Structure 1
């Protein structure tokens, strides 16, 4: 009897094992076959690429190239604005081998890389809900973005964009200039005290952290009626989540079936799910407070519009409290994150470039003195600051806030002469486009703001390919708000101080959702 029982148990185990293998083969095998079908379709259209392995695609080669680039560029403090080869070495490596359009695989996902000017131009003009954010990336970023305007797709995205776009009209942004100045003044006072203590030699200031605080204060006050200090815990949690989620590359760190089953929700000492729940709760508490304030207020801000939009959300379920909460919280997270990250990083890089090129500081300072009353920009003088605008545009050419455009085809999509199969992810590397000699001329790697003296349309061969805020219908909804904020910050800082790069500055562009200075931007500041 005992022998029979053992045989029965063994038989059951074998049945379970065979069943698991069978299901895994059925699910994974079909997915692999589908990837090969996509690859064959692209190959027939003349799109080549590196040969993938069955289970891992080209991930191993990508990781190897990334590791080699890290070793090669470590300890190199030469200030080069061409950082594509260090941050995205696999894209640059394959571009040299296969040209401006090629395909590669990351296990269960097939990708196509496009950096051909004419094809990118065609890509930017596609206006369909069947082309959207890449689903496996948005899933990985869900704790920090949820299903807000940045990460959603289809009618849900279109509905959210309609709501939020209303708050970022030109007239409304002009009305926020005074608020932007008010948020910047405390930082300027802090720097003045530091410079005063430093004497004639001035002092070294790491500007990026202070700029993040100012940018956060602006977005909180302009869009949510609260100060940065009131929402400091929220911004702190967002930054912690961003660091945890992007600790490893989220662009290719997935390995098909094993990643889907065994993917970790913990990075180091940070439990992502727990921190995300805490963030959601904190935002919701702020929302409920603001909801009461909005009932009494006459003027609507972004928060009020989000609350109203949530009540008529696209699923039509007006009484689903969980859906209402999710809609509101997710969009608050999107605005909190994008609203201050892009501004702070752009101003940091701008100050770095101005520190290297002090003659442009003088030109900006002269312009501000002649255009702005008491050297303080306002809604009327900002449009006259042509030099400031040129410098910022050139900064965003060399250091676009978000360096990559990624889209997923939800049906077969025609891009130029190509038909991209359903399920394929399309990638465009913005820094490579922004430094392409064919588009910008032989000085494409140099800081030359004068190239924008007659506007973007005359600055390059393909003005549609100047895309610091993304391209197509999904261009950043807050780009005008961000540009205005950057203009105010740069104008105020340059009018108050002269500065050079500190000898301690380490040039280290690092990709963490945005391209930011890994070791900060340290400038040596003297009182103007």
Structure 2
């Protein structure tokens, strides 16, 4: 009798486990497939299509395949004589899937990663309306917020709504032009050790040397921010930024599982400037930010497109910067003269973001780099080293995977 009762209890327990497992499976299917499919259907009704997703990771497999193919093509090109040249347009190397989908579906298309739906927008009129939107219902994309939390926390880069507004009101006055002007001498002081170390190295090598500049430029930037913003010593600032760099490397690879609803565990860069109008041109050609990302925190209508709540909006910066309809037939050429008379329009120039969430540190970064470049070219003639290998990669920002190698020649005094 007791054995029969025990067997019955086991059967009931197994039945409950089966019911629970089925319920969990159905819930995951609803979250990971039915919900995003419903959103994608709303876009299709508006004539906006995209690559068909697969369960449960959406278009992630297609993206990985495109990147692997592009990487193999680059490796093959490097092995050919003269095949390792510099191509300013990094999109085929870094974002090949976007190039493929844009050709197939036009300047506005959808795709998904897990249960997260993205709207890719590169049509100027829609981009303009997105950038003009000041509603708190349009916030920063929450995709990868869980993955990036160790680096950004609840700071201004990732926060939304009133939390973002409160932080911006506190921080913005510290980057007003009069404050930045007062930091110029400190920026010069930060540049002196860098220039001295380069001069010593050039002198030791007979007036010319090759140098990989990445770590030196990061150290300069760390020192500037330590001096101007925190009052920290150079050593303390250097330690802080080394840890930040390590965090950047650690969180640069997306963790799709952590980003799927129901499965979450928890969630400045403008170093491409020259002098005069070149600070406008260099970020257009090779700005570090690959996207301007936003998220519809409520249902919105922007540029005539109805965007359901929760959709992540990605504007590809490089596509806007290299569009010949916006910049002319020489859009892929480094031409600072284009900025002499005309400043770029809101929807076409996005190295510091755009709209209400434009980077607060824009003026600070421009001043920092104008000073550094001015001092460098007063002492050295620079050109790319024969050792330089063009290697753009996306690690939160677009950066040279193999670094930047320059040949420095000491400027000869003419008097």
In structure 1, runs of 5+ residues without a counterpart are 266-272, 274-337, 351-387
Map Cα deviations across residues 200-241 of structure 1 (whole Å, 9 max, x no partner).
4x1101111101001011111111111331233221211111
In structure 2, runs of 5+ residues without a counterpart are none
The CA distance in 1 between the partners of 2:210 and 2:189, in whole Å, is 24
Q: Aligned pair in 2 of structure 1 residues 106, 501: CA closer, same or farther (>3 Å)?
A: same
The CA distance in 1 between the partners of 2:398 and 2:112, in whole Å, is 24
- Point out the structure with the larger helix share: 1
The CA distance in 2 between the partners of 1:479 and 1:17, in whole Å, is 57
Task: Please state if 1:243 is matched with 2:249.
Answer: yes
Match of 1:492 in 2: 375
Task: Please state if 1:145 is matched with 2:147.
Answer: no
Task: Please state if 1:221 is matched with 2:222.
Answer: no
Task: Please state if 1:178 is matched with 2:178.
Answer: no
The two structures have a TM-score, normalised by structure 2, of 0.92
Map Cα deviations across residues 473-498 of structure 1 (whole Å, 9 max, x no partner).
01111111111101111111111101
Match of 2:348 in 1: 465
The CA distance in 2 between the partners of 1:234 and 1:525, in whole Å, is 29
| Aligned residues of 1:401 and 1:469 also touching (Cα < 8 A) | no
| Aligned residues of 2:322 and 2:331 also touching (Cα < 8 A) | yes
Deviation larger for 190-199 or 66-75? 66-75
Q: Secondary structure at the match of 1:481?
A: helix
| Aligned residues of 2:317 and 2:350 also touching (Cα < 8 A) | yes
The CA distance in 1 between the partners of 2:22 and 2:322, in whole Å, is 49
The CA distance in 1 between the partners of 2:259 and 2:119, in whole Å, is 21
The CA distance in 2 between the partners of 1:127 and 1:171, in whole Å, is 26
The CA distance in 2 between the partners of 1:16 and 1:234, in whole Å, is 50
Q: Secondary structure at the match of 2:190?
A: helix
The two structures have a TM-score, normalised by structure 1, of 0.73
Match of 1:408 in 2: 295
Q: Aligned pair in 2 of structure 1 residues 225, 100: CA closer, same or farther (>3 Å)?
A: same
Q: How many residues align?
A: 404
The CA distance in 2 between the partners of 1:257 and 1:468, in whole Å, is 26
The CA distance in 2 between the partners of 1:91 and 1:121, in whole Å, is 20
The CA distance in 2 between the partners of 1:500 and 1:99, in whole Å, is 39
Task: Please state if 1:519 is matched with 2:402.
Answer: yes
The CA distance in 2 between the partners of 1:260 and 1:126, in whole Å, is 31
The CA distance in 2 between the partners of 1:257 and 1:194, in whole Å, is 47
**Aligned partner (choices 303, 317, 322) of residue 430 of structure 1:** 317
Map Cα deviations across residues 66-94 of structure 1 (whole Å, 9 max, x no partner).
11111112235210000011111111110
